[in-house]
Amino acid sequence: MKTSEFDYFLPPELIAQTPLMPRDAARLLVLPRFTGKLEHRIFREIGEYLQPNDVLVVNQTRVIPARLYAHKLPGGGKVEILLLRRIEPQLWETWVGGKGLDPGRQIQVENGPLGEVEAVLEGPKRLIRFREALKPSLNTAGHIPLPPYITTPLTDPERYQTVFAREEGSAAAPTAGLHFTPELIRQLNSAGIHFASLTLHIGLDTFAPVTEANPQEHKIHTEWCRLAPDAADRINSAKRRGGRIIAVGTTSVRTLETAARVAPAGKVVEPYEGATDLFILPGYKFLAVDAMITNFHLPKSTLIMLVSAFAGKERIMAAYETARQMRYRFYSFGDAMLII
């Protein structure tokens, strides 16, 4: 297996720059993973492929205003900070842009507190300790960190939040969930289709391509996730009733499969809270997920490798080529796939 096998060409104009309105107007490419016969639908029609007792598992993380602008003290040089993970109320793992950011360097956040670089981590990552808890000042100091391939300003930051967003902590949105509307959720519930929530806080490493020639040598980023007992019970109960576990997004896949690895005999998943570094490549045996809803992912990314593990690399790459030819919209604000 080579990383180059997961590469493809995408014309820049197919990278969606703005979200659709209404959310469920996105196109939906349906890929039956055992036949590979594609269907082209609209997302709001997804209920036609679901059945009573199915459970859609969504990520309820909420994107925080994780981009901060600051300047160095002394000197005044500009610094850009991306918050990746809160370790303590005042201590954050960050991704920084700027020179001379060595331990001891002080940084003044615009409209926010003073910080100090505490440690140098891998590459541009730094541990920064702020003079006071950072969270209370994020609404005034922080900015929503759109992915680097989106260059059009977002007029309404809520469009980069799902309707399920509850728990603050992500630097990026779980974009497969962006297509759901309250009305669509009501329709699915009325049809006997259930929802369960979990949480995985997404870091910006999710956009990093695999640079190693052999993807098995890639060290995947670690993210914190939680599957609460009530959600685990709902999932296990649905499975006992003959329902399918449908992961909404790759973050839900990683969390579910992490929870499945610790589940005892007779259960699909077990409640779980903690870090996950699960790297799903072709050859992985899925333990919990029966189907997934996902967007179109970047070339050579861990996410296109994950969906290839689920549906088969050849089928996924052929589906992406069809989507490209039919002018689907790609990436975070783009169209969706249902792999079933």
How is the chain split into domains, by residue range?
A: 3-63+155-339, 67-143
Hey, what amino acid is at 59?
N
Low-confidence ranges of the chain (pLDDT < 50): none
Is CATH 3.40.1780.10 correct for 3-63+155-339?
yes
Please report, rounded to a whole number, the percentage of residues in the chain having pLDDT higher than 90: 87
Evaluated on CA atoms 261, 264, 267, 270, the torsion sign reads: negative
Predicted local distance difference test score (pLDDT) of residue 206:
66
Distance CA 270, CA 268 (A): 7
* Residues linked to residue 215 through DSSP beta bridges, in sequence order: none
Q: Write down the CATH number for the domain with range 67-143.
A: 2.40.10.240
Distance from chain centroid for Cα 229: 22
Predicted local distance difference test score (pLDDT) of residue 126:
96
Predicted local distance difference test score (pLDDT) of residue 92:
94
Helix %, strand %, coil % of the chain (to 5): 30, 30, 45
Predicted local distance difference test score (pLDDT) of residue 101:
95
Q: Give the position of tokens 């409640």.
A: 271
Question: What is the tens place of the pLDDT at every residue in 293-322?
Answer: 999 999 999 999 999 999 999 999 999 999
Angle at 299 between CA 293 and CA 305, to 5 degrees: 55
* Predicted TM-score (pTM) of this structure: 0.92
Distance CA 288, CA 243 (A): 12
Q: Which letter does DSSP use for residue 330 in this model?
A: B
Predicted local distance difference test score (pLDDT) of residue 207:
66
Predicted local distance difference test score (pLDDT) of residue 229:
98
Nearest in space to 293 (alpha carbons), one of 166, 184, 153, 169: 184
State residue 333 phi and psi, 5-degree precision: -95, 15
Evaluated on CA atoms 228, 234, 238, 240, the torsion sign reads: positive
Q: Which letter does DSSP use for residue 15 in this model?
A: B
